[in-house]
């Protein structure tokens, strides 16, 4: 089972592809999709769309997992992230891949055992779970891998 985790964003979106075989999980590919500051917003969304569709085409994941929107005090940022999430949902629908959403606290609890864990703790546990020699970089990729790991715990 291949799972593509996405940490949504419109300036930087993290992605992490894992493969689950029985109880073993391994990283296949991870990284970030960076858009240019001088790009207009539709072009940023297009950049994200093309990269995710490229990952889907190259690796054919069975499922996609994405983090839910957390908006705190900045509603404008939450709307932008929501628009980026819409692109991920479009990619999933276009490729007929099921997509599942998880709250940040659920992801942290699945990976660290504590829904209030710090990003550094999540990153360290992602490294351990996947047997990586170094912490996954950038941070957005580590978050995306954590999302994929969380989803792997919730499927049979």
Report how far residue 143's alpha carbon sits from residue 123's, in angstroms, rounded to the nearest whole number: 7
* 68: annotated active-site residue: no
Of 19, 40, 62, 67, catalytic = 67
DSSP string for residues in 16-55: EEEEEETTEEEEEEEEEEE--TTS-HHHHHHHHHHHHHHH
Of 19, 54, 139, 140, catalytic = 140
DSSP string for residues in 46-96: HHHHHHHHHHHHHH--SEEEEEPP--TT-HHHHHHHHHHHHHHHHHHHHTT
* 54: annotated active-site residue: no
For 113, the 3-state DSSP assignment is coil
Active site residues: 7, 67, 140
């Amino acid at each position: 089972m291949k799972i593509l985790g996405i940490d949504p964003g419109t300036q930087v979106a993290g992605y992490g592809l894992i493969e689950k075989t029985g109880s073993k999980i391994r990283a296949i590919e991870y990284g970030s999709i960076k858009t240019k500051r001088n790009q207009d917003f539709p072009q940023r969304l297009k950049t994200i769309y093309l990269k995710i569709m490229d990952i889907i085409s190259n690796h054919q994941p069975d499922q996609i997992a994405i983090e839910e929107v957390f908006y705190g005090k900045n509603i404008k940022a939450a709307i932008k992230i929501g628009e980026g999430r819409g692109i991920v949902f479009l990619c999933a629908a276009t490729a007929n891949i099921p997509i599942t959403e998880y709250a940040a606290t659920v992801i942290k609890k699945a990976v660290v055992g504590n829904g209030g864990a710090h990003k550094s703790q999540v990153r360290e546990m992602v490294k351990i779970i996947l047997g990586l020699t170094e912490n996954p970089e950038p941070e957005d990729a580590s978050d995306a891998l954590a999302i994929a790991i969380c989803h792997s715990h919730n499927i049979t």
